[in-house]
Amino acid sequence: MSYFRAENLSLHFGGLKAVDAVSFAVEKGEILSIIGPNGAGKSSIFNLISRIYRPTSGRIYFEDQDITEQPPYDIAKLGIARTFQNIELFENASVLANLLVGRHRHSTTQLWQELLFLPSVRANEKVHRRRVEQVIEFLDLEPYRDKLISGLPYGVRKVIELARALCSEPKLILLDEPSSGLNVEETDDMSFWIRDLKNELGITVLMVEHDMSLVTRVSDRVIALNYGRVLAMGSPSEVQQHPDVVAAYLGA
Ligand SMILES: Nc1ncnc2c1ncn2[C@@H]1O[C@H](COP(=O)(O)OP(=O)(O)OP(=O)(O)O)[C@@H](O)[C@H]1O
């Protein structure tokens, strides 16, 4: 049984088949990238996994559990985190505050306990802080810890978005176009972070990405989509050279 599995997944918007009977598996510790031209259905697959959309048909399994009907909050609790193509951070809060929000799924205290600031709340707070500091160190974010998001360059915000997802201690992370808006040097840095997620933290990665050089550098396997269907699946070079993939990118 695979670590993560999508089985015959479909998502229809009226007559449009955004995702059309897509099946794929992700093995534990693997980096799997989904590529495809605009409108191919990549984001829709992420939105199905994170339960923003409900599939028209098909099933999703994670760690041998059918998660197709789980509410979005439970998906995070199961250990699946995601980043967004358009950064989704609190602009007028500090980096630290944004990262503490990423600890939300581990919160075990109730609101009334927090209002009374009971010892259990203080102990919990310490654990959250410790984890956040580890992520700050891991991603070299120390210089920005107390800065407001609104004053930070785009490239740094992109790393903070990744950091926030890491604070939830995910087992599987969905990265939605991690290089979008980054320059060449920042994309290089991002490729190192992504490899470190796998090699140092043992996190399984499912990534949607347009930048083929990043895809080639970090991916163990690649899936190419077009019009909601799988065109090819295999190593980065196999998929890039596949005639149907070449044709899709050339608009043939
Ligand atoms: N909420 C929606 N309502 C109607 N159609 C939608 C909706 N979301 C996506 N679509 C359509 O579904 C198809 C797949 O879109 P999707 O965003 O998944 O593609 P994508 O591969 O992520 O594209 P891009 O690379 O441009 O982000 C497109 O034709 C899109 O217009």
Beta pairing, strands 204-208 & 172-176: parallel
Could you read off the pLDDT of 79-110 as tens digits, one per residue? Answer: 999 998 777 889 999 999 999 887 765 555 55
Q: Is the CB of residue 181 below 6 angstroms from any atom belonging to ligand 1?
A: no
Could you read off the pLDDT of 153-162 as tens digits, one per residue? Answer: 999 999 999 9
Centre of ligand 1 from the C-alpha of residue 181, in Å: 20
Kindly report the protein residue whose alpha carbon is nearest to atom 10 of ligand 1: 18
Q: Name the β-bridge partners of 80.
A: 172
Q: Is the CB of residue 86 below 6 angstroms from any atom belonging to ligand 1?
A: no
Centre of ligand 1 from the C-alpha of residue 44, in Å: 6
Q: Helix, strand, or coil here: 34?
A: strand
Could you read off the pLDDT of 111-128 as tens digits, one per residue? Answer: 555 555 655 656 677 878
Contact (Cβ atoms closer than 8 angstroms) between residue 59 and residue 72? no
- State the pLDDT at residue 102: 72
- What fold does the segment set 1-79+170-252 form as a domain? Rossmann fold (3.40.50)
Domain limits, CATH 3.40.50.300, in the chain: 1-79+170-252
Q: Which of 122, 134, 119 is nearest to 201 (CA)?
A: 134
Q: Average pLDDT in the 135-145 region?
A: 96
Beta pairing, strands 31-35 & 221-226: parallel
Worst-scoring range by mean pLDDT, 1-5, 41-45, 86-90? 86-90
